[in-house]
Amino acid sequence: MSTTVITGIGELVTNDPAREGVLGLVTDAAVVIEGDRVAWVGRAAEAPAADVAVDAGGRAVLPGFVDSHSHLVFAGDRAEEFAARMSGTPYAAGGIRTSVAATRAAPDELLLSRAAQLVQEMLRQGTTTVEIKSGYGLTTRDEARSLAVARQLTEHTTFLGAHVVPEEHADDPDAYVELVTGPMLEACAPHARWIDVFCETGAFDVDQARAVLDAGEAAGLRGRLHAGQLGPGPGVRLACERGLLAVDHCTYLEAADVEALRESGTIATLLPGVEFSTSQPYPDARALLDAGVRVALASDCNPGSCFTSSIPLCVALAVREMGMTPAEAVHAVTATAAAALDEDGPRGVGRIVPGRRADLVLLDAPSHVHLAYRPGVPLVAGVWQKGRPVV
Ligand code: NIG
Ligand code: FE
């Protein structure tokens, strides 16, 4: 098996809990990659020889970013809706239906090529693991083919038939829930690992969300939830009660939600690009962290509420607007985001320690702080995915 040593790493973010600080930083570091795994981590002066040597030139190396929440399978865009929003029209869940119409009309090849382009865009910005949801098909056929497309791009596919009630079921939302939990789930489960519900006024209520999660889990999928995006509601507590790994958005939280998150250990995945792009208030990540809640960050890349694929932008927003330190924000897009996808095990991602998948980002900067300090600057100079240089 071929080996590569990356030496001259000015600052290495390991996220190794056996090392000091939030990020387990090592200075003057080296990493050895063997095949698709991290094989050795330590000081450059002590690094073993390898087949290939790469000099990082004093720059920073981090774990590849994990984007645990995205909606990349869709056609068309909603630039006009965004422009209207910037003149004061509020964001509403109903906009999803615009993307549904475009997605239904698009051939599989187009859905795949557009989603693949977004995955490439993410990779160039350091994202080496991505979760992709369906949710713009909303018929059995269109959800199943959306997931078949997503499956070609990631292992982390999520069935989101319960994104919004489509127009043709507007008169009878419960009949749509029956479709989602019945034939649609049956057609989609083979292509999906996770099941998600948008639990929000204007989408699905808590009883409907429970029914969808029950059915999904019975079919072997694991639950995730969109909750607290447009206002407070029971969704966050539902996620905690069920012991879900993560509940996403959490823009509006009540004290009982924070307590439930802390007690259950359910990760609050915050999506600061959404607040940026909808002009809603940012969630208070500082308060959550201080209360002992685990916080991840993700892009939510989608054509409506947030069309960014940039994890570095999310880091910068979380630091500038949500009270996170740069170290906390970097941890939130690596180790904690990996945990939100159940990928934080010894063979997982999100940390640079021996045995983990060799997913690494080389920054054109001396430290991780520059991700927030230099917003909007393309700082990703190199990416290794499964041990192979891909950028
Ligand atoms: O996560 N909240 C629901 N779904 C997406 C938005 C989808 C859309 O507007 O198209 C979200 O923000
Ligand atoms: Fe989302």
How many domains does the structure of the chain reveal?
2
Please say which residue of 340, 359, 379 terminates a domain. 340
Residues 79 and 227 in one domain: yes
Contacts of 190 (CB under 8 A, 6+ apart): none
Q: What is the pLDDT of residues 344-367, one digit of tens each?
A: 999 999 999 999 999 999 999 999
Q: What is the pLDDT of residues 149-192, one digit of tens each?
A: 999 999 999 999 999 999 999 999 999 999 999 999 999 999 99
Residue 18 falls inside a structural domain: yes
Average pLDDT, the chain: 98
Predicted local distance difference test score (pLDDT) of residue 343: 98
Predicted local distance difference test score (pLDDT) of residue 107: 98
How many Å separate Cα 226 from the centre of its chain? 12
Instruction: Tell me the mean pLDDT in the region 86-99.
Output: 93
Q: What is the pLDDT of residues 278-293, one digit of tens each?
A: 999 999 999 999 999 9
Residues 53 and 94 in one domain: no
Q: Is 273 in the pocket of ligand 1 (CB under 6 A)?
A: no
Residue 135 falls inside a structural domain: yes
Tell me the pLDDT band of 93, cut-offs 50, 70 and 90. confident
Residues 286 and 370 in one domain: no
Tokens of 19: 């090392």
3-state class (DSSP) for residue 303: coil
Residues 13 and 150 in one domain: no
Residues 7 and 123 in one domain: no
Q: What is the pLDDT of residues 104-152, one digit of tens each?
A: 999 999 999 999 999 999 999 999 999 999 999 999 999 999 999 999 9
Q: Ligand 1, atom 1: nearest CA belongs to which residue?
A: 300
Is it the case that residue 32 has pLDDT exceeding 90? yes
Residues 60 and 72 in one domain: no
Residues 89 and 119 in one domain: yes
Residue 346 falls inside a structural domain: no
Q: Which ligand is nearest to the CA of 133?
A: 2
Q: Is 62 in the pocket of ligand 1 (CB under 6 A)?
A: no
Q: Which ligand is nearest to the CA of 158?
A: 2
Residues 176 and 263 in one domain: yes
Q: Is 300 in the pocket of ligand 1 (CB under 6 A)?
A: yes
| Cα–Cα distance for residue pair 220/235, rounded to 1 Å | 21
Q: Is 96 in the pocket of ligand 1 (CB under 6 A)?
A: yes
Residue range of the domain that includes 220: 66-340
Residues 262 and 384 in one domain: no
Give me the residue label for tokens 């090529």.
113
Give me the residue label for tokens 């250990």.
265
For a ligand 1 pocket test, name from 72, 97, 201, 226 the mutation site with the most ligand atoms within 8 angstroms of its C-beta.
Answer: 226
Q: Which ligand is nearest to the CA of 70?
A: 2
Tell me the pLDDT band of 94, cut-offs 50, 70 and 90. confident
The whole-model pTM stands at 0.98
Is it the case that residue 272 has pLDDT exceeding 90? yes
Q: Is 156 in the pocket of ligand 1 (CB under 6 A)?
A: no
